[in-house]
């Protein structure tokens, strides 16, 4: 319930200024997707919808990548205005000038900033808010709430929204059981989000779309993304042989060697060892579930993290889930993941040298060892941790749905717009006035959510 109350607060503290509507038939939204290696400007366009029971008809009309990522300014937060100014000026040139004042601006960061020390992350976002909150430079609609570092659960929920939106699920009157779950993996974290068949005892994330509220299970595992898993393997080897300056990495292919500086400045050479058995042993040490007497509430996935049963949902595996299964030819003709085949293929691949792997798959040398690690990591994560049967055919691997990229940024814009329209609806119905809105919305969201959720669960029990 604590999670639900906190979420309720985050959903309602949106100022009246964001609720402004344009008289134009078209609306625009500006998103700064602040990643660890770059920031992506995304501009969305949609016609005014006739009813909150309808789904938005969203179009990504423009996107551009800006390097470096915002985390590069962690020691120079005073340079943030110059960095964001370039992105903002491009957005101003794309959105019609007459609609600047009614166009909401969002800047959201993901795991790349979640891994920073809290003080550094606060300094970066404070500088960003000060700049974007200055109406003399930012003509778009601004709120401190929409310039923030996303929680992992938000990132997962927004990916879920994007995937189901692209499948035309919202506004279709289909039951929640026909929504797809989403498995997402980036460099820093991995997320699992779905609508369980039974009650949700923790990590519940309510989402309102097209007039319907969905109760999601959403959890994000920080440091379980592709980049950080490789880093954790390296740290494991360092702790195993703290005095060695030459380490043999079983998750890297023979012939693939990299050097780096250790914490004390010593140069360490990391050499590929092509040992899938040892690699899987290390990976599984990170994926162990808690002992029965330490798992509350039950069941647990990784460590003491609760996860309800997967039920019968189809899942879409996106982002970093796409590359290794494709390279290792572990997909059936319909794009569904064959876990057993991937595990077998990964063991064979991981015994190759770097040169053999490049010759066999045509992959670039810089990615070859990564496919070994991910080829072993993904099957173990899905079966041992999440609970998928190794014979499942319910995991669809795709980076696009109906020709559109599955992107949490799309889900974030849709989610925020739904909240704006919901508050507008409350005001139109006379339920709240502008000044009363934050207080009354909290009561409405929390009480209605509690009643609906527990009635549903009571029905399940009975």
The torsion of the CA quartet 48, 51, 55, 61, rounded to 10 degrees, works out to 0
* Residues 211 and 269 occupy one common structural domain: yes
Token readout for 380 is: 């173990």
* Residues 338 and 228 occupy one common structural domain: yes
* Residues 350 and 204 occupy one common structural domain: yes
- Determine how β-strand 189-194 pairs with β-strand 181-185: antiparallel
* Residues 77 and 144 occupy one common structural domain: yes
Q: Given a cut of 70, is residue 434 above it in pLDDT?
A: no
- Looking at residue 337, its pLDDT comes to 98
- Looking at residue 441, its pLDDT comes to 42
Q: Which residues pair with 343 in a beta bridge?
A: none
* Residues 189 and 216 occupy one common structural domain: yes
Provide the phi-psi class of 436: left if phi over 0, else alpha when psi is between -120 and 50, else beta: alpha
Which tops the pLDDT comparison, 243 or 423? 243
- Looking at residue 449, its pLDDT comes to 53
Structural domain contains residue 362: yes
User: Which residues define the annotated binding site?
Assistant: 187-191
Q: Given a cut of 50, is residue 59 above it in pLDDT?
A: yes
Which tops the pLDDT comparison, 437 or 278? 278
Structural domain contains residue 437: no
- Looking at residue 395, its pLDDT comes to 98
Structural domain contains residue 431: no
Quote the mean pLDDT of the chain: 89
- Looking at residue 438, its pLDDT comes to 42
For the entire predicted model, the pTM comes to 0.87
- Looking at residue 1, its pLDDT comes to 43
Question: CA 119, CA 150: separation in Å to the nearest integer?
Answer: 16
Pair 149, 114: CB distance under 8 Å: yes
Query: Catalytic site residue 427?
Result: no
User: How much is the average pLDDT of 172-194?
Assistant: 95
* Residues 96 and 184 occupy one common structural domain: no
Domain count, the chain: 2
CATH of the domain at 181: 3.30.420.150
Q: Given a cut of 70, is residue 416 above it in pLDDT?
A: yes
Structural domain contains residue 75: yes
* Residues 248 and 167 occupy one common structural domain: yes
**62 CB-contact burial (10 Å; exposed 0-12 / middle 13-18 / buried 19+):** middle
Span 320-342, pLDDT tens digits: 999 999 999 999 999 999 999 99
- DSSP code, position 241: S
Residues 6+ apart with CB under 8 A from 321: 183, 184, 185, 378, 397
Give me the domain span that covers residue 56: 25-149
Question: CA 193, CA 313: separation in Å to the nearest integer?
Answer: 11
Span 259-310, pLDDT tens digits: 999 888 999 999 999 999 999 999 999 999 999 999 999 999 999 999 999 9
Final residue before a domain boundary, out of 99, 122, 149: 149
Structural domain contains residue 389: yes
Question: CA 68, CA 83: separation in Å to the nearest integer?
Answer: 9
- DSSP code, position 320: T
Residue 443 pLDDT class (50, 70, 90 cuts): very low
- Looking at residue 14, its pLDDT comes to 38
Final residue before a domain boundary, out of 119, 149, 179: 149
Structural domain contains residue 445: no
DSSP per residue over 187-205, as a string? Answer: SSEEEEEE--SS---S-EE
Question: CA 410, CA 158: separation in Å to the nearest integer?
Answer: 7
Pair 314, 396: CB distance under 8 Å: yes
* Residues 291 and 206 occupy one common structural domain: yes
User: How much is the average pLDDT of 209-238?
Assistant: 96
Listed range (1-5, 128-132, 163-167, 352-356) with the worst mean pLDDT: 1-5
User: Which residues define the annotated binding site for ATP?
Assistant: 187-191
Residue 409 pLDDT class (50, 70, 90 cuts): very high
CATH of the domain at 69: 3.30.420.40
Residue 447 pLDDT class (50, 70, 90 cuts): very low
Final residue before a domain boundary, out of 127, 149, 171: 149
Residues 6+ apart with CB under 8 A from 275: 250, 350
CB atoms within 10 A of CB 45: 18
Pair 80, 123: CB distance under 8 Å: no
Structural domain contains residue 458: no
Residue 426 pLDDT class (50, 70, 90 cuts): confident
DSSP per residue over 62-111, as a string? Answer: EEEEESS-GGGGTT-GGGHHHHHHHHHHHHHHHS-GGGGGG-BEEEEE-H
* Residues 340 and 354 occupy one common structural domain: yes
* Residues 156 and 115 occupy one common structural domain: no
* Residues 217 and 354 occupy one common structural domain: yes
User: How much is the average pLDDT of 223-235?
Assistant: 96
Structural domain contains residue 444: no
Q: Given a cut of 70, is residue 439 above it in pLDDT?
A: no
Q: Which of 343, 345, 350, 342 is nearest to 369 (CA)?
A: 350
- Over pLDDT 90: what percentage of the chain? 80
- Looking at residue 431, its pLDDT comes to 58
- Of the residues 153, 154, 155, 418, only one is catalytic, namely 155
Span 139-156, pLDDT tens digits: 999 999 999 999 999 999
* Residues 125 and 199 occupy one common structural domain: no
Span 7-28, pLDDT tens digits: 444 443 434 334 334 456 899 9
- Looking at residue 111, its pLDDT comes to 87
């Amino acid at each position: 319930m604590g999670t639900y109350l906190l979420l309720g607060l985050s959903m309602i503290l949106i100022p009246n200024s964001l609720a402004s509507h344009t008289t134009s038939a078209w609306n625009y939204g500006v998103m700064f997707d602040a990643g660890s290696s770059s920031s992506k400007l995304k501009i969305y366009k949609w016609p005014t919808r006739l009813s909150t029971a309808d789904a938005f008809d969203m179009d990504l009309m423009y996107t551009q990548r800006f390097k470096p990522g915002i985390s590069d300014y962690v020691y120079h937060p005073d340079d943030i205005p110059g960095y964001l100014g370039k992105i903002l000026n491009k957005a101003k040139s794309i959105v019609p000038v007459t609609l600047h004042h009614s166009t909401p601006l969002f800047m959201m960061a993901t795991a790349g900033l979640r891994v920073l020390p809290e003080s550094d992350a606060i300094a970066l976002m404070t500088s960003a808010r000060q700049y974007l909150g200055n109406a003399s430079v930012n003509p778009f609609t601004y709120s401190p709430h929409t310039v923030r570092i996303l929680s992992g659960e938000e990132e997962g929920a927004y990916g879920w929204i994007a995937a189901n939106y692209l499948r035309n699920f919202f506004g279709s009157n289909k039951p929640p059981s026909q929504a797809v779950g989403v498995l997402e993996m980036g460099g820093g974290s991995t997320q699992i989000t779905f609508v369980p068949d039974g009650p949700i005892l923790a990590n519940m994330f309510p989402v309102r779309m097209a007039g319907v509220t969905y109760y999601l299970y959403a959890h994000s595992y920080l440091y379980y993304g592709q980049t950080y898993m490789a880093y954790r393997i390296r740290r494991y080897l360092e702790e195993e042989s703290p005095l060695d300056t030459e380490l043999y990495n079983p998750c890297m292919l023979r012939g693939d060697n990299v050097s780096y500086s250790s914490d004390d400045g010593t140069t360490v050479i990391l050499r590929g060892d092509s040992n899938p058995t040892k690699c899987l042993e290390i990976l599984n040490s990170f994926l162990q579930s808690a002992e029965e007497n330490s798992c509350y509430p039950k069941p647990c996935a990784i460590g003491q993290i609760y996860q309800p049963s997967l039920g019968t949902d189809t899942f879409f595996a996106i982002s970093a889930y796409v590359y290794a299964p494709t390279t290792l030819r572990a997909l059936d003709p319909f794009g569904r993941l064959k876990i057993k085949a991937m595990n077998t293929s990964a063991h064979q691949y991981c015994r190759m040298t770097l040169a053999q792997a490049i010759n066999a798959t045509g992959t670039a040398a810089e990615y070859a060892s990564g496919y070994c690690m991910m080829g072993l990591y993904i099957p173990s994560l899905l079966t041992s941790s999440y609970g998928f049967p190794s014979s499942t055919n319910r995991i669809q691997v795709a980076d696009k749905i109906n020709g559109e990229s599955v992107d949490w940024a799309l889900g974030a814009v849709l989610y925020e717009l739904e909240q704006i329209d919901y508050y507008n609806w409350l005001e139109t119905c006379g339920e709240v006035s502008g000044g009363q809105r934050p207080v009354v919305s909290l009561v409405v969201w929390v009480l209605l959510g509690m009643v609906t959720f527990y009635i549903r669960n009571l029905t399940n029990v009975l």
